[in-house]
């Protein structure tokens, strides 16, 4: 930690001399691995979204179906790259290579040495690879129509989230190191390329929860039903958008990330029906209810919630940057948390109404049509999730801004 | 050590499931044939595993008692209480045994299934059904599933608590109790 106590530049960033030439090998190794893992995790995420629609429309009768292969090959590939880097960095650590010391790595079991991001990635990938056969067995025991709330779906989801966090740690630590150079390179819109990697990864985390919204079924309390679909939206949205703003320290990063979610979501919603129609008949499967997939306009439009919240976050940051006085009441992280809570509760039912009023077919469940009274009942839950997300966003954002391990 | 122990248990359990599957594969059990009357056809149906194990293929052999050349297929339909989708297999006659049909099937979920045989032969189309129960080598209770499934969450929460201390250290060392939003515009 001593290295952080050195001199600082105008932005308060600990400043160091030019990175020595010998250190560039380590930077290249970590950054190439980070981009490769980003691709593999995006592939796994696409596989998961495809798998979810496959289960709904086709059913589940065996493990080796194309969505599972897409999902698990992505996770296994990420795990393999991670293992390789952990072994390489351990080797380089014992060789005393520059950039691979106790300040740039953490110790695992006192034997291995690697950056924290790779350790998290490895743990997440391992969790998913253990969860996969156990989930398969659970389906064999209890049937095909298990929701997210089965033990090994939860285990796999936690593994995916941990792997995603690991990837963000990885990009963020490299960005923190690059920011500490005397003359950090500037990429697109003043962002370092490695910061853009972190934004894509955070956008992927937000996009990750969209296909799962309908698995958050209402909590029944007497005759009322308290909707819970807003929880993941508010938690992930507030957390990711605030953290990217703090990670980069740049106004506009949250808005750009929200736009990335929208692009990813549109791409997923457009591609999956095509992928299903292409693969299902060619692999001998049939649609179980004789209806094929349709474009889900509601899910495609839900990211507008993230965009509005991101504009609020960046707007407040811009005011602060221009030296405007922000009323004390509006400072801190609570406002984006509250805003996204309200939007996450109200916007999805409105979008469903919109889609049903149009001529487009609606494929979703009743979960996103709670009725306005029940929607209001769900508002406190959404607000609590938004505030928790904002707290976690600030928490991780601070770590990601400074952490170089 | 604690972490190694937990993963050791998970891995052992996975291996235990795997070995159970392997035993079921090796212990292939040919059963006595069962006579079925499908319309005008009297057939003898034999399953290479009875009861069949979930997720493993088993062979269905159908022999026409009258040595008639038949064609057909078998559909495995889940009974009430078995949450699965139907499985299909064609029944093909080996070249040297025209009165025999063979098909390979795999059942995806434990529980009760109905095998529906559809035949076509010189006396026209006909069908018959047979009830079977698919089994698994090891029954994992729900509580055990949740116990294993939530281990990573417990470890994650413990790590998150540790990160709180780490964040505090980072901010202390950089003299930034709260980094202000928007250090630099895009």
**What is this model's ipTM?**
0.84
- Residue A242: closest CA among chain B residues belongs to which residue? B181
CB pairs under 8 A between A and B: 169
- Residue A134: closest CA among chain B residues belongs to which residue? B14
Q: Is A286 near chain B, with CB under 8 Å?
A: no
Indicate the pTM of the whole model.
0.82
User: Average pLDDT of chain B?
Assistant: 81
Q: How far is B9 from chain A (nearest CA, A)?
A: 11
- Residue A316: closest CA among chain B residues belongs to which residue? B181
For residue A251, the chain B residues in CB contact (below 8 A) are 181-182, 184-186
CA dihedral A394, A396, A401, A404 (to 10 degrees): 160
What is the tens place of the pLDDT at every residue in B128-171?
Answer: 999 999 999 888 999 999 999 999 999 999 999 999 999 999 88
User: In chain A, pLDDT over 70 holds for what percent of residues?
Assistant: 88
Question: Between chains, do A151 and B142 touch, taking CB under 8 Å as contact?
Answer: yes
Question: Between chains, do B179 and A318 touch, taking CB under 8 Å as contact?
Answer: no
Assigned token pair, A143: 């049937």
- Residue A55: closest CA among chain B residues belongs to which residue? B85
A382 contacts A345 by C-beta, under 8 angstroms: yes
- Separation in Å, CA A5 to CA A180, B24, B175: 12, 63, 9
Q: How confident is the model at residue A203 (pLDDT cuts 50, 70, 90)?
A: very high
User: Average pLDDT of chain A?
Assistant: 86
Q: How far is A370 from chain B (nearest CA, A)?
A: 27
Option in B108, B142, B178 nearest A62 (CB): B108
Question: Between chains, do B185 and A395 touch, taking CB under 8 Å as contact?
Answer: no
- Residue A189: closest CA among chain B residues belongs to which residue? B186
Q: From the CB of residue B68, how many other CB atoms can be counted at a distance below 10 Å?
A: 16
Q: How confident is the model at residue A227 (pLDDT cuts 50, 70, 90)?
A: confident
Q: How far is C-alpha A374 from the chain's CA centre?
A: 29
Distance between CA atoms of residues A4 and B168, nearest Å: 13
Q: How far is B156 from chain A (nearest CA, A)?
A: 8
pLDDT value, residue A258: 96
pLDDT value, residue A331: 65
Question: Between chains, do B140 and A131 touch, taking CB under 8 Å as contact?
Answer: no
Interface test with B, best of A166, A390, A398 (most B CBs within 10 A): A398
A34-43, A229-238, A311-320: least confident range: A311-320
What is the tens place of the pLDDT at every residue in B47-95?
Answer: 999 899 998 999 999 999 888 888 999 999 999 999 888 999 999 998 8
Assigned token pair, A216: 């958050």
Superfamily of domain B28-134: Macroglobulin (MG2) domain (2.60.40.1930)
Q: Is A221 near chain B, with CB under 8 Å?
A: no
Q: How confident is the model at residue A307 (pLDDT cuts 50, 70, 90)?
A: very high
Q: Which of A10-14, A31-35, A183-187, B64-68 has the highest mean pLDDT?
A: A31-35
Judged on CB neighbours under 10 Å (0-12, 13-18, 19+), B139 is: exposed
């Amino acid at each position: 930690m001593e290295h952080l106590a050195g001199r600082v530049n105008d932005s308060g960033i600990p400043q160091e001399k030019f990175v020595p030439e010998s250190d560039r090998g380590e930077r290249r190794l970590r950054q190439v691995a980070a981009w490769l893992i980003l691709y593999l995790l995006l592939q796994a995420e696409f596989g998961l979204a495809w798998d979810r629609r496959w289960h709904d429309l086709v059913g589940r009768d065996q493990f080796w179906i194309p969505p599972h292969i897409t999902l698990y090959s992505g996770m296994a590939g990420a795990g393999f790259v991670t293992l390789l880097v952990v072994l390489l960095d351990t080797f380089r650590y014992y060789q005393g290579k520059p950039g691979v010391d106790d300040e740039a790595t953490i110790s695992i079991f006192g034997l291995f040495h690697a950056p924290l991001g790779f350790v998290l990635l490895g743990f997440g990938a391992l969790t998913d690879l253990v969860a996969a056969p156990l989930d398969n067995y659970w389906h064999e025991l209890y049937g095909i129509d298990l929701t997210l709330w089965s033990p090994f779906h939860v285990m796999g989801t936690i593994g995916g989230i941990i792997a995603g966090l690991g990837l963000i740690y990885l990009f963020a630590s490299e960005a923190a190191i690059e920011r500490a150079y005397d003359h950090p390179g500037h990429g697109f819109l003043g962002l370092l390329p490695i910061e853009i990697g972190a934004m894509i990864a955070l956008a992927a985390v937000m996009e990750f929860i969209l296909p799962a919204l309908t698995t958050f079924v209402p909590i029944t309390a007497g005759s009322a039903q308290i909707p819970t679909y807003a929880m993941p939206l508010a938690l992930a949205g507030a957390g990711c958008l605030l953290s990217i703003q703090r990670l980069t320290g740049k106004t506009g990063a949250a808005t750009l990330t929200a736009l990335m979610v929208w692009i990813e979501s549109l791409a997923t919603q457009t591609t999956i029906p095509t992928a299903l129609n292409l693969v299902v008949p060619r692999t001998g499967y049939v649609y179980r209810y004789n209806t094929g997939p349709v474009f889900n306009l509601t899910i495609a439009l839900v990211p507008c919630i993230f965009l509005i919240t991101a504009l609020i976050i960046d707007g407040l940051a811009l005011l602060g940057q221009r030296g405007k006085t922000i009323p004390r009441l509006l400072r801190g992280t609570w406002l984006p948390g509250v805003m996204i809570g309200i939007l996450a509760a109200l916007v999805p039912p409105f979008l469903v109404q919109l889609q049903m009023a149009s001529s487009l077919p609606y494929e979703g469940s009743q979960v996103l049509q709670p009725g306005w009274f029940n929607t209001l009942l769900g508002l406190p839950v959404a607000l609590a999730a938004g505030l928790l997300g904002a707290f976690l966003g600030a928490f991780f954002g601070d770590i990601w801004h400074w952490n170089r391990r | 050590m604690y972490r190694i122990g937990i993963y050791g248990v998970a891995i052992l359990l996975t291996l235990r499931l795997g070995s159970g599957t392997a035993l079921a594969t090796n212990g292939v059990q040919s059963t006595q044939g069962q006579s079925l009357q499908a319309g005008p056809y009297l057939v003898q149906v034999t399953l290479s595993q009875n009861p069949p194990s979930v997720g493993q293929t088993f062979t269905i052999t159908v022999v026409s008692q009258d040595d008639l050349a038949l064609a057909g297929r078998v559909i495995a339909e889940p009974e009430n209480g078995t949450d699965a989708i139907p499985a299909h297999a064609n029944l093909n006659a080996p070249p040297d045994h025209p009165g025999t049909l063979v098909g390979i099937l795999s059942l995806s979920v434990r529980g009760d299934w109905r095998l529906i045989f559809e035949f076509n032969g010189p006396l026209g189309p006909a069908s018959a059904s047979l009830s079977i129960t698919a089994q698994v080598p090891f029954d994992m209770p729900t509580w055990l599933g949740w116990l294993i499934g939530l281990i990573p969450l417990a470890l994650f929460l413990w790590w998150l608590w540790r990160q709180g201390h780490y964040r505090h250290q980072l901010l202390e060392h950089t003299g930034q109790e709260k980094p202000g939003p928007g250090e630099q515009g895009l």
